[in-house]
Structure 1
């Protein structure tokens, strides 16, 4: 009897621990993005992204330890596709953050996972989620004197990249064991950024503070979330993990407010809330 009572308590404790870890992961991710923005005036988004990719490559290669010589062509193609996504998504996102702010950029980027969750569904509740999210995006993109449509465009490209990341990551996970595929993709992406980083730093000579902020961003926004999410997935169901990821736009808006003093009006906050709610409902419906 004691065993049957203990099992639910142990499970509930594991889920509570997993939820706390996911909250910490989201906070780390968005704090890293806010820290990266502090280096934009010195290095520019390309230079900051280059440093972040190098840090992520070192950390993930150390964790995944991929045996590259054993990879087959069938394994290399999705890995290279994932590397291209890694190289593109952060550059687009950081450029968007530089132009439209952290909260709005991450919220628009979050449309990628939402599109995957809603893809192919004809249920009324899912269609309602899509309509609600579209209306919220319309509110966020409403014409204003300060509207930066180029920045919005970069954020939407980042959303497409995130959707591609989800699809490619599934394929890599099926074809390459463990974290070796993601580590190899991070390594290739880091190599792609060597010439970009060198050119960016020749045009924008780095300072010690900017480099420190960029390295910190790489650790907080890449290494920490990767490790914490892996541990959290051992404690919570996959559908809970997907729904909890919805907290990222809110965390981004809060990080932008606290670290960068980027203030959103009440209408923007409401629109972010609608997109977060739409994604949560869509993910939970798809999981069921």
Structure 2
């Protein structure tokens, strides 16, 4: 189906689920509320597509690790502690190792992953802004609905050019549920029950899981230096997040 086709189906499923759960009162939104919601919708649409395009070119582990730099940068930028500055420098050095020039380096794929990181950081900041203006899940549900509408023409063209089988379509639908709807709701429930710093530590394991799944399921191998860099980035986030409580930074994804 190609990355665009899969992302389109994923956006449609997320829009339907979040509309049912959030029940946004779209007609009641003011222009001041719609502006950040539309910005959030564009971030939604760009974030998922850029990540899938990155995965298609550079593999699951490297793509997810680079995308994780978005929330990591937001969390560290919100602090002025020396330890966080040191962690940021260590993480930056590890990124340098991950993106070091090699004969097989795909800079376009790295660019897509970094774009996904910027989108994730923007999502966090926009979510805080929109959340102050729109109650409950209405803001995210409305943004998901607009993002789903954006993908209607794009997705239809992608699926027409790459006609899916029933099995492919079922996998894409499962990706929409398991990659967007379920994690989003689980993150919300978790954030209401555990301290934000613990949530940040749990989130930091994503790059390691992605690298392991890429190796075990997709046969995507990373060299020793890349593994060490990924572990270093995870460790830097863990050290930063495990310190004294800081102002809450929401890192709920997608």
Shorter-chain TM-score tier:
over 0.9
Give the TM-score taking structure 2 as reference length.
0.93
Q: In the comparison of the two structures, how many residue pairs are matched?
A: 246
Q: Give the direction of change, closer, same or farther, for the CA distance of 1:186–1:280 in structure 2 (3 Å limit).
A: same
Counterpart-to-counterpart distance in 2, 1:121 and 1:177: 27
Structure 1 consecutive aligned stretches of length 4 or more whose deviation exceeds 4 Å: none
Q: CA deviation at 1:280?
A: 2.2
Per-residue CA deviations over 1:183-220 (Å, capped at 9, x if unaligned) read 01000000000010011112111121221111111111
- Secondary structure at the aligned position of 1:260 is classed as coil
1:117–1:286 contact (8 Å) kept in structure 2: no
The structure where helix makes up a greater share of residues is 1
* Structure of greater Rg: 1
2:97 aligns with one of 108, 132, 139? 139
Q: Deviations over 1:171-193 (max 9, x none)?
A: 11111111111001000000000
Which one of the candidate residues 235, 242, 248 is aligned to 1:277? 235
Q: Which consecutive residues of structure 1, in runs of 5 or more, have no partner in the other structure?
A: 1-42
SS at match of 2:101: coil
Q: Is the 8 A contact 1:114 1:282 kept in 2?
A: no
Q: Tell me what 2:251 maps to.
A: none
- SS of residue matched to 1:287: coil
Task: Flag the 1:233–1:138 CA change in 2: closer, same or farther, 3 A.
Answer: same
Q: Which ranges of structure 2 fall in alignment gaps of 5 or more residues?
A: 247-254
Partner in structure 2 of residue 113 of structure 1:
71
Corresponding residue for residue 189 of structure 1: 147
Shift of 1:285: 4.2
TM-score normalised by the chain length of structure 1: 0.82
Show the counterpart of 1:253: 211
